[in-house]
Structure 1
Amino acid sequence: MDGETANIKRGDKVYFDFLGIENGTVMTNPDLAGYVIVKSPTYGSHRRHIKDLTLRKSKEQLNMNKPAIITGVALSLIAIVGLVFAGNYNSLVSSKAEVDNAWAQVETQYQRRLDLIGNLVASVKGAQGQEQKVFGELADARSKYAGASSSSDRAEAASQTESALGRLLAITENYPELKSNGTVKDLMTQLTGTEDGIAKARTDYNITAKSYNVSIMSWPKNMFAGWWGYKQQALFKADSGAATAPKVSL
């Protein structure tokens, strides 16, 4: 028998099941066998075991429970709101980290290209001295990339590098002796692989960034993104210079 049943005594208001839920008043204290006399409006006085009775709460008891109920509801609401905030924050952090990682892969390929271009410039410049303009353009583009403070600035500098690289490759096409140079040929082979790597890294970045952009524009995450300063990320466009890799001929 539960705690409430054990405490049933004379004068208590109770419920019991007798062809339906009935209410009544306990007229006697329980005997040694646990039986009491219950008086109900429908069935009058009759004998029932206390295990079949459910104690009715008084108004005072119900009022005493109200603060606990209100506190429980309030704590539940706070917990739910906290989970919503935490879930959205963690999701935004995770999504932005994926975008940053995808961009880092692009930059890794950019840096590899710049290193190869530096070596190619040295090789070509040593073999042919009159094409100074393109060397200056490449040096300027590399300096801009190194000094860029944002991803958009670095993407712009990379686009300028590609333009100058195209002209540098044209120089090698005009001078057969350069194409037959073992060092130049090896560097151009490596550039071919790097340009493929850049194209793949950009595609992967676009997929990741687009998913992130859609996510922070969707409700309710758009509200949290605005509060916490998460902004849409720029994508590479197929018709822009930054997305068109120069063709390396071997």
Structure 2
Amino acid sequence: MDLTWLWILIGVVAAIIVIIVIWYIVAYNNFIKMKNSIEEAFATIDVYLKKRFDLIPNLVETVKGYAAHERGTLDEVTAARNSVANSSTTEERLQNENILSGTLRSLFAVAEAYPDLKANTNFLDLQNQLNMVETDLANARKYYNANVRMFNTKLETFPTRLIAKKFNFTKQPMYEVPNAAERENVKVQF
């Protein structure tokens, strides 16, 4: 009879250990899935940034033909575009992308002063394309932030926090706009 209780105790302890190991594996795999979702979301943002990046030279050239003396604004847009391309970290890329959005607002403000430019079909086509890209980019940012929020929440809550710490999972940056002026949409409607 004493031996029966011993076997029951060993069975219960073994079952608890198996449950803990299975939970541990599932929690670790969930962290990996969430990390991969964040990377996928950031890659989606990159796709739309690349589309916008490719539109900018055409936009600058179109504006240049009508507003040659607005060289400073055109140079700022080009410099901001290059900063995004040369970003080495996620945080730096997100910050430079915000700067580029601000310079695009300046470019469209310049275009307001040139009625012939606003009537140019090439400019209007570029404007519409940029508007579509900006909408897609906003949706991609929302998706990225949702994935980051879920990951960071799991990272900071108990007991998954223990696994995150053991495997050096770190908090991921949210896509945030640093100041109120940059929170405004790039105006592409004239």
Are the equivalent residues in 2 in contact too, given 1:199–1:245 (CA < 8 A)? no
Could you tell me how far apart the structure 2 residues matched to 1:160 and 1:144 are? 9
Could you tell me how far apart the structure 2 residues matched to 1:198 and 1:161 are? 13
Are the equivalent residues in 2 in contact too, given 1:158–1:242 (CA < 8 A)? no
Aligned: 1:247 with 2:187: yes
- Identity of paired residues, percent? 28
Which structure 2 residues correspond to residues 227-246 of structure 1 after superposition, within 5 A? Answer: 227-237=166-176, 240=179, 243-246=183-186
Are the equivalent residues in 2 in contact too, given 1:88–1:224 (CA < 8 A)? yes
Query: Post-superposition shift, 1:70?
Result: 8.8
State the one-letter code of the partner of 2:36.
Answer: A
Q: Which has the higher strand share?
A: 1
Are the equivalent residues in 2 in contact too, given 1:199–1:243 (CA < 8 A)? no
Structure 1 match to 2:156:
217
Aligned: 1:121 with 2:60: yes
**1:74-108 CA-partner distances (Å, limit 9, x unpaired):** 76565444323211110100111112222222222
Structure 1 match to 2:103:
164
Are the equivalent residues in 1 in contact too, given 2:66–2:114 (CA < 8 A)? no
Using structure 1 for the length normalisation, give the TM-score.
Answer: 0.67
Secondary structure, aligned partner of 2:161 = helix
Aligned: 1:83 with 2:22: yes
Are the equivalent residues in 2 in contact too, given 1:99–1:209 (CA < 8 A)? yes
Query: Post-superposition shift, 1:120?
Result: 0.4
Query: Post-superposition shift, 1:199?
Result: 1.6
Structure 2 match to 1:208:
147
Using structure 2 for the length normalisation, give the TM-score.
Answer: 0.86
Which of 1 and 2 has greater Rg?
1
Which consecutive unaligned segments of at least 5 residues does structure 2 have?
none
Are the equivalent residues in 2 in contact too, given 1:113–1:191 (CA < 8 A)? yes
Secondary structure, aligned partner of 1:247 = coil
Q: Which has the higher helix share?
A: 2
Determine which structure has greater relative contact order: mean sequence separation of CA pairs < 8 Å that are 6+ residues apart, divided by chain length: 2
Structure 2 match to 1:101:
40
Which consecutive unaligned segments of at least 5 residues does structure 1 have?
1-56
State the one-letter code of the partner of 2:148.
Answer: A
How many positions carry a matched residue from both structures? 189
Query: Post-superposition shift, 1:231?
Result: 1.7
Which structure 2 residues correspond to residues 21-36 of structure 1 after superposition, within 5 A? Answer: none
Are the equivalent residues in 1 in contact too, given 2:102–2:182 (CA < 8 A)? no
Query: Post-superposition shift, 1:238?
Result: 6.2
Q: Which 4+ residue blocks in structure 1 deviate beyond 4 angstroms?
A: 68-78
Are the equivalent residues in 1 in contact too, given 2:98–2:177 (CA < 8 A)? no
Structure 1 match to 2:127:
188
